[in-house]
Amino acid sequence: MKLKTDELRMLDGKEGLVRQKAMELLVKYGDALGAAEFVDVDNVFILSGLFSYTDVFKYPIDIDSIASEYFLDSQEKLMVDNVKAFTTNHLFTIDLANGHADLVKAPKILQDLIAATQHYCKRIGISVTGTCTPYQCGNTPVFGEHVAWVESSAISYANAVLGARTNIEGLESSFSSALTGKTPLWGFHLKENRRGTTLVQVDEKAISLDTVMDYELMGCHVGRTIGTEIPIYPCGKHHPNADMLKGLCATGASCGGIEMYHMVGVTPEAHSLEEATGGLSPKQAIQYGTRERRECYERLNNSSKDLVDVVTIGCPHYSIRQMAQLARLLEGKKVNENTLLLVYTARSIETVAARSGYAEAIEAAGAHIVVDSCPINIYFPTSSVVATDAAKITYYMTGLRGYENVWYGSMLDCVDAAITGQWRGELR
């Protein structure tokens, strides 16, 4: 890689050992990608507290040693002072407040690890948003801004919906970008790699795109079919809202590898089909109709048991609009005594939900509003029957957590399951 003066300064250790290690990692990473140079970033989203593999950690917890190894790939213990770029963080794995860690049976070591990580983030100058949806909580990049983000659903949202530019960063690369203000100029940072390659032809007579679930199922099919290509979606009869595009981002990325897409007349690099394709012919066209929709729905439903133990909703984190919808659905209702209803959102959204009376309605029904965490971070026996309104969660609930019985449906289906204790969802 060709390095500029300020980058060489950091690499040579003139700004201390921490930034030297961070630059070393970024240079290795940039070389591995085949990048020619770095670009400056002053907007970083890191995975500070996402510890999915608790078994690897042992007492005593020394957060600086853990951060050195897992955030910076350094076996030598490094004392990080301050991040250089504006940096917000992803969730903290579990919610330490309101007894929620015990409610989801989180291991003790994980709780201690998270407490230490929270102090660490505050100490090194991270803006602690604790969410997978920074764009809902005060970190919204502008069109054309180069950023270094983690979280496949948020990366897709930043690239496609906001027109910001980021690759799919990982824990170590994003942390190094936070410390140095640099990321490799590669991939989606370059305009030529952002043009749409695949036309999605929606059977508009049969398919109506009206709900978050409609968008999730479409994203699921397209992700599974085209992997990492860049799809161009048509705009449905009704202009989508942010929650619908958030769902499209999450499933396109998790069912495939879509980190950039266009929607003609909706997303900022697709005022026209010609702009979306960069004036070139698309490589291919794929169909999306009722058959594809049903196939995805059936694939996402992996349970044979109707009695539901846990309903876990809010992936990506519910927006304030979704909290309002949920409050209306739960008004005057009671969650079944054999079922747990867990609702995931960001702390800042919970604050607005409380102020607006939504939190009161949700909690009065017996549901739990969980912050700093994610619907997959529940630690019940894997024979438990789980229901969710997020296609992404079904994937990780089975693959990462090993749950054998997972139902997928709409927010309404999930609320019904929580109230009746039974899964009665179907594709409508």
CB 69 → another protein: shortest distance, Å? 7
Residue 154, token pair as written in the block = 């948020």
Among 34, 99, 265, 381, binds another protein (CB under 8 A): 34
- Let me know: does 236 contact 202? Beta carbons within 8 Å: yes
Q: Write out 317-383 in H/E/C secondary structure.
A: EECHHHHHHHHHHHCCCCCCCCCEEEEEECHHHHHHHHHCCHHHHHHHCCCEEECCCCCCCCCCCCC
**Residue 299 or 333: which CB sits closer to another protein?**
299
Closer of 169 and 214 to another protein (Cβ): 169
Distances in Å between the Cα of 402 and the Cα atoms of 301, 377, 405, 407 are: 15, 12, 9, 14
- Helices 242-255 and 320-330: angle between axes, nearest 10 degrees: 100
Q: Among 28, 123, 146, 333, which residue sits at the site for another protein (rule: CB under 8 A)? A: 28
Long-range pairs, 356-364, Cβ under 8 A, ≥24: 356/320, 356/323, 356/324, 357/327, 358/320, 358/323, 358/324, 358/326, 358/327, 359/323, 359/327, 361/327, 361/328, 361/330, 361/331, 362/323, 362/326, 362/327, 362/330, 364/330
When the beta carbons of 167 and 339 are compared against another protein, the nearer one is 167
Which of 63, 128, 171, 427 binds another protein (CB under 8 A)? It is 171
Please, which of residues 226-285 interact with another protein by CB under 8 A?
227-228, 254, 256-257
Position 379 contacts another protein (CB under 8 A): no
Q: From 22-30, 104-112, 323-331, 409-417, give the range in contact with another protein by CB under 8 A.
A: 22-30
Please state at what angle helix 290-300 crosses helix 212-226, rounded to 10 degrees.
90
Under the binding rule (CB under 8 A), the answer on residue 29 touching another protein is yes
Is 88 among the residues that bind another protein (CB under 8 A)?
no
Cβ 133 to another protein, closest distance in Å? 14
Interface mask (CB under 8 A) for another protein, residues 184-223, using x and -?
A: --xx------------------------------------
d(CA 139, CA 145): 12
**Among residues 219 and 240, whose Cβ is nearest to another protein?**
219
Cis bond upstream, residue 60 (ω within 30): yes
Our finding on whether 298 is near another protein (CB under 8 A) is: no
Instruction: State yes or no: residue 168 binds another protein (CB under 8 A).
Output: yes
Closest approach, Cβ 378 to another protein, in A, equals 15
Q: Least Å distance between CB 424 and another protein?
A: 25
Encoding tokens for residue 1?
């890689």
Q: Which residue's CB is nearer to another protein, number 47 or number 365? A: 47
Q: Which residues of 370-379 are buried (b: 16+ CB within 10 A; e: fewer)?
A: bbbbbbbbbe
Which one, 169 or 413, has the nearer CB to another protein?
169
Residues within the interface to another protein (CB under 8 A): 25, 28-29, 32-34, 47, 50, 52-53, 55-56, 69-70, 73, 150-152, 155, 167-173, 186-187, 227-228, 254, 256-257, 395-396, 398-400, 402
